[in-house]
């Protein structure tokens, strides 16, 4: 006796949601989000600012003025479109490539630079900012988001926990555990998987037999959506809907954004030319999120070369001031790390603290 393959037809149910095509033309009028002209311009401003920040951060890293850095160019629509759907009181749990969202959520730019340098102050979120510092452990933020979201639910707050991981993170055990927990308790969480096609150098098709990450939502009983991650309007629209579902008590959502990182995985020696072809790079550059959205806004008379240059110059000045402020930050000491790790120091560390205080005073 044989049985039908239950996977047949599953992938077809996850058609990619798109609003703007590569030429900036609307192809899905029904899905258009309700955004004012001011909102549209602000979205573009943030994407241009982030592209400049990425370029300058790469240069600063090469100069030895930054430490760990994961390039963001190509992923601006996915990152900033999703964050734009959040409210100030929502909780952000980023991965290590998601520093731009932290900045627009309230993290001062100089602290973002300190995070890159490994300085503890770069991980100290402002008191009025609901966020964790970027997670280095792959997928760990998924379980954390489930817990934060459940906390919001228990307190009766109309807020969400929004978290990010990459396609590689979707292969981690934490990914399933976190989503399953959130689904079981109908916690107000939104899980965004930014599928930039490679987990460092491993292509997505070698990470999983699943045709999409979005379909993995079915395993834990929550909705899953596949979105054009180079289309900022589509990303915003889907995340906005997921947020509304969450705060209305309808539970979590998984969103896969199909995107691409133009640069290396990180600046720590990765060479993308060893695993990506020029043809692949050219194909994705034609889908550039900034080019696509720029054409759309220019067609509406909302954007110009002059406006863009103003944003670029402002970004350069603010980055210059922020790196100067980061340079002026007091160097961290061993006693700093000991004192902020524990509320009450164990006896062995109390002894070490006294020893280091003596050394630091000399």
The residues annotated as belonging to the active site are: 261, 265, 275
Backbone angles phi, psi at 198, to 5 degrees: -140, 135
Contact 194, 257 (CB under 8 A): yes
Largest CA distance in the chain: 82
Is the four-CA dihedral 223, 257, 206, 3 of positive or negative sign?
positive
Helix axes 289-299, 232-247, angle to 10 degrees: 90
């Amino acid at each position: 006796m044989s049985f039908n393959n239950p996977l047949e037809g599953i992938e077809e149910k996850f058609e990619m949601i798109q609003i703007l095509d590569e030429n900036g033309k609307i192809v899905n009028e029904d899905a258009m989000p309700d955004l004012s002209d001011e909102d549209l311009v602000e979205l573009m401003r943030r994407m241009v600012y982030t592209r400049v920040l990425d370029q300058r951060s790469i240069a600063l890293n090469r100069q030895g003025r930054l430490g760990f850095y994961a390039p963001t160019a190509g992923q601006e629509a996915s990152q900033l479109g999703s964050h734009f759907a959040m409210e100030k009181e929502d909780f952000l749990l980023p991965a290590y490539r998601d520093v731009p969202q932290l900045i627009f959520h309230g993290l001062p730019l100089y602290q973002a630079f300190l995070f890159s340098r490994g300085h503890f102050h770069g991980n100290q979120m402002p008191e009025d900012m609901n966020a964790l510092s970027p997670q280095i452990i792959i997928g760990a933020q998924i379980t954390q988001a489930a817990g934060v979201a459940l906390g919001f639910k228990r307190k009766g707050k109309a807020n969400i926990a929004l978290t990010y991981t990459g396609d590689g993170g979707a292969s981690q055990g934490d990914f399933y555990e976190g989503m399953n927990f959130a689904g079981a308790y109908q916690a107000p969480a939104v899980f965004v998987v930014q599928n930039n096609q490679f987990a460092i150098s491993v292509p997505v098709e070698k990470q999983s037999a699943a045709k999409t990450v979005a379909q993995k939502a079915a395993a834990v009983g929550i909705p899953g959506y596949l979105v054009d991650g180079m289309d900022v309007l589509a990303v915003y629209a889907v995340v906005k809907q997921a947020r509304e579902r969450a705060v209305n008590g309808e539970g979590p959502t998984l969103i896969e954004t199909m995107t691409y990182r133009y640069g290396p995985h990180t600046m720590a020696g990765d060479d993308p030319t060893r695993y990506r072809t020029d043809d692949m790079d050219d194909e994705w550059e034609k889908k550039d999120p900034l080019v696509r959205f720029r054409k759309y806004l220019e067609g509406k008379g909302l954007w110009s070369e002059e406006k863009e240059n103003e944003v670029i110059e402002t970004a350069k000045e603010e980055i210059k001031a922020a790196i100067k402020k980061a340079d002026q930050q007091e160097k961290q000491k061993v006693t700093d790390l000991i004192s902020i790790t524990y509320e009450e120091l164990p006896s062995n560390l109390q002894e070490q603290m006294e020893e280091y205080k003596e050394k630091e005073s000399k």
